[in-house]
A and B are shown apart, each in its own frame.
Chain A
């Protein structure tokens, strides 16, 4: 039988870079990202899964035998403060810093800037990631769907109006972008 241990060796891919890590059993994914890897874009808010500041995206592995039309993996938003780091062994995650591609901001990031949907900025990384996963699953959300989708992300500055606007703007630009590529 395996023995209980205080540390585990794991492999974790963060923003496309694979890390071999020795992680203490009781550390959360958030602590691993911030304290061990120094990736401070993922924020600590409440520690209890209510505010969404610690949101990261987890790429779901493609199941063998299932054909997918798009090469993009399914990406689920989770609270890194409620995830034991060790349980993320061999998974791949994306933080806010991993959204840009070839130096270009992700359309959601750009829309947050254009619409001034940022005040203090603390909720922004989580808010942007959750918006990305929302738009990947539902490219044309209604205002109600955006508000429902962002229920798990609390902002104490903006009153949400500009954030909702930014997600709507991102939705429009992403649909145009996808349309232009075909």
Chain B
């Protein structure tokens, strides 16, 4: 199918959040929500369609990054609005300093034109197993604020991705904000691509909580190795409360090969992904350790 043409659809451009929620409540599966649209428009040009689309372009005050530093404050952490772009992450000293994995993901994310338009929350809701910002966010941990008519709920990123392209955000819900926990400085994001601006063959994000040279807690996430981004819980268990040394890392490298379920696709083969997953994860863990 031609990539040139968007076929006709009706567009709704709500001016405030209640109006947007009313639209979602009424049209549900019949309406597609467009934030940046960099991924969605490509999909729509190649055949994806719903009768209606709703743009968030006219919703005020959703393009923020707000950081609450105060210890013990229940709001402590970073809040990312529904229309905040990937470029905004890159320009933020707070993201660079306090959430390095997310900053690194934003850095290698697509091209600068796409970064200026694509939203962070949109990347999460795309539900791609290759999403770079999503991979970093999964490792950092956090919650997505979902609103519908008359109610709001928080969904942990651990429960967000259900299947390929499918998330916990229901048809009548609008994601308003991503909330990240207090600074996660010992975190790293890495990815493998053929050329720099490609989508990943494999990506990985590591979030370590160290106590001296003992790993107290860890979140390991790998992308492009299953239908959704994958938390490597068995590998995490090998690291928790252990001194990070060659023995442990060798066990992790063995374990991750068993844990992932990669497939062959146009960017890589399952064999290759299995082959490099271990060493790639090991390097990421060591790099994160250096930050600690």
Question: Chain A interface (Cβ within 8 Å of chain B)?
Answer: 1-6, 8, 24-28, 44, 46-50, 52, 55, 58, 76-79, 81-84, 86-89, 130, 133-134, 148-149, 151-152
Contacts and interface: CB of A to CB of B under 8 A. Distances in A.
A130 B113 contact: yes
Interface stretch (B49-57, B155-163, B272-280): B49-57
A4 to B, nearest CB: 3
B2 to A, nearest CB: 8
B10 A148 contact: no
In the complex, the 7 A-B pairs of residues with the closest C-beta atoms, listed nearest first: A152-B111, A4-B10, A25-B11, A87-B57, A76-B116, A47-B3, A152-B113
Nearest to A79: B113
A26 B51 CA distance: 11
B287 interface: no
B12 interface: yes
A8 B57 CA distance: 14
Q: Which of B14, B37, B41 has the most CB of A within 10 A?
A: B41
Contact of B38 (A1, A6, A49, A52): A49
Nearest to B85: A76
B37 A82 contact: yes
Interface in B1-53: 3-4, 6-14, 19, 22-23, 26-27, 34, 37-38, 41-42, 45, 51-53
B90 to A, nearest CB: 11
Nearest to B43: A48
B114 interface: yes
B9 A48 contact: no
A28 B9 CA distance: 12
A25 B117 contact: no
Nearest to B112: A152
A86 B55 contact: yes
Contacts of A47: 3-4, 45
> How many B residues are at the interface, by size bracket?
35 or more
Given A2-B19, A49-B38, A151 B196 contact: yes
Interface string B147-175: 00000000000000000000000000000
Contacts of A148: 196
A48 B40 CA distance: 10
A151 to B, nearest CB: 5
A1 B3 contact: no
A6 B87 CA distance: 31
Contacts of A52: 111, 113
A85 B112 CA distance: 20
Contact of B11 (A50, A86, A88, A149): A86
Given A4-B10, A26-B8, A49-B114, A89 B58 contact: yes
Contact of A82 (B14, B22, B26, B38): B38
Contacts of A89: 13, 57-58
B117 A2 contact: no
A148 B14 CA distance: 36
Contact of B22 (A1, A26, A78): A1
Interface in B222-253: none
17 contacts: A2-B19, A4-B12, A4-B51, A25-B8, A25-B9, A44-B4, A48-B45, A52-B111, A77-B116, A78-B116, A82-B37, A83-B37, A84-B34, A87-B34, A87-B57, A89-B58, A152-B111
B238 to A, nearest CB: 37
A77 B113 CA distance: 5
A152 B11 contact: no
A84 B7 CA distance: 12
Contacts of B3: 46-48
B42 A49 contact: yes
A163 to B, nearest CB: 15
Given A2-B23, A152-B197, A55 B113 contact: yes
A77 B10 CA distance: 27
Q: Which of A6, A52, A58, A87 has the most CB of B within 10 A?
A: A87
Contacts of A79: 38, 113-114, 117
A12 to B, nearest CB: 13
Contacts of B113: 49, 52, 55, 77-79, 130, 152
Contacts of A3: 12
